[in-house]
Amino acid sequence: MTAEKVSVLGLGYTVEFANLALESGEAGNCSPNTLTIKIDSGLPADLHNKTLLHELIHAALDALGQAGHYEDEPLVDGLALSLYQILRDCGALDMRCKLLKNPE
């Protein structure tokens, strides 16, 4: 398992990359209580990046005190997909961010 740090609205989250398919069957999850985001390490680049954005949005909604929206999966999915498309289309996913996987 590898881990990186990221700040979400001033909160220091640890992003862990592990084989979640074996642990929980999830692509990713966010725990505001432990300030931890977990992403399945076996995901292809596009799904990895979408999942990372999805979990970061959960973290941001919690940090903003938007508990009612934190559990709104259709909203979070829609925001993550929209951000992913915008970042991909403008070339931002090619940056050298340790959290992102470069598309192959």
CATH number at residue 30: 1.10.10
Domain-embedded: residue 14 = yes
In angstroms, rounded to a whole number, what is the distance separating the alpha carbons of residues 22 and 46?
A: 20
Q: Work out whether the CA dihedral 74, 78, 79, 80 comes out positive or negative.
A: positive
Q: What is the mean pLDDT of each run of 10 residues along the chain (104 residues)?
A: 87 90 79 95 88 94 91 93 88 67 58
Split into its structural domains, the chain has a count of: 1
The amino acid at 70:
Y
Other Cβ atoms less than 10 A from the Cβ of 93: the count is: 18
With a CB cutoff of 8 Å and minimum separation 6, the contacts of 24 are none
Q: Report the predicted TM-score, pTM, of the whole model to 2 decimal places.
A: 0.86
Domain span including residue 70: 2-94
